[in-house]
Amino acid sequence: MPIAREINKGRVPIKIWTDDIESAAFEQLTAMSHLDIVHPHIAVMPDVHFGIGATVGSVIPTLRAIIPAAVGVDIGCGMCYARLSLRVEQLPDSLKAVREAIEDAVPVGFNQHAEAANTKALQPLVNGFNRVLELAPQIKSMMRNPESTMHLQCGTLGGGNHFIELVHDEQGNVGVMLHSGSRGIGNNIGRHFIELAKTEMERLDKRLPSRDLAYLREGTASYDDYCFAVDWAQQYARLNREIMMQLVLGALAKVLPPFVVTEEAVNCHHNYVSTEHHYGQHVHVTRKGAIRAGLGELGIIPGSMGTRSYIVRGKGNSESLCSCSHGAGRRLSRGKAKKVFTQADLEAQTQGVECRKDAGVLDEIPGAYKDIDVVMAQQSDLVEIVHTLKQLVCVKG
């Protein structure tokens, strides 16, 4: 049974569920552990790696303050999974048409819809977005047309490590899994409040281990504004995944045998902040590349575009602040992966998966990630595996 390794180099302990951590990430965590707002410790998941603003794979509980850079700019990024009534043996031998149907239905990268994918579903969020623009008018200058963008980007994938996959579980049941967040809207909300927090710390002459650790304090207008905006972005991210899932299912209905959704298992964030009770205190828990794994709670831990993924059930481990990893975790940066691997390596490592195999996705090659099976073994005290998934089709941003 794994047990967290405790390191005491700051004001609070750092509890780490792995020995596989690079020095840059460890330095980030050490700096975080000196903050006087952290309680009772920082929990670090086995997929940990260096991140912009804060360490990916970290769980940061804070008292009466939130660190916007720890939440990051991909606010509400997370996973969604639905199991279908189809069996893997019912699928066609070639899945190229399936991939093309998904790519036709869901804009990827910087692309967006020509018209809103679901205006009715978005309507409850419109007033909230108008309020966000009132609280943070600078966002209008960051975006050419904020309200139009909100509508046209909802139900789109984005780029980087975001993906849509057709998968099957260990029993041969086919499902759809996807990974995305709050798109450009969330990015601009995050950037605005990260800079605002830095300005406030400078105004207060607050000395921090890093400017990225600037925080917004309860009782201030900027804190209230951020809480409203970040909550809105997290709702938008969840809706983005829901609408995208409906678009994917509609696309699959055109090219696969008739099916129904038999179980929508999870729609969970892994870049977000929530208020929870841990170790005798109400704290703001920022999960920067981690999912909540409370007792009995379901979650999704994806591998890479050539390896297994998992549906898991949380064990409610208090030391991890009821959290677990959000994936395999990068071993190589995107730039490094492009230097180390070739297109031939990508083709070999994604053999049997219908996906792009060109230089444009080389930075997402499975070899750039940690071994998902090792990561899962390191957190067996945090989650139990419910289903093991293997991808058949992968659409990347």
Question: By the 8 A CB rule, do 179 and 79 touch?
Answer: yes
Q: Which of 41, 270, 326, 387 is catalytic?
A: 326
CB 382 within 8 A of CB 317: yes
Q: Are 149 and 112 in contact (CB under 8 A)?
A: yes
- Is 34 designated active site? no
Cβ–Cβ contacts within 10 Å for residue 229, how many?
26
- In sequence order, the β-bridge partners of residue 131 are none
What letter represents residue 12's amino acid?
Answer: V
As annotated, the active-site residues are 326
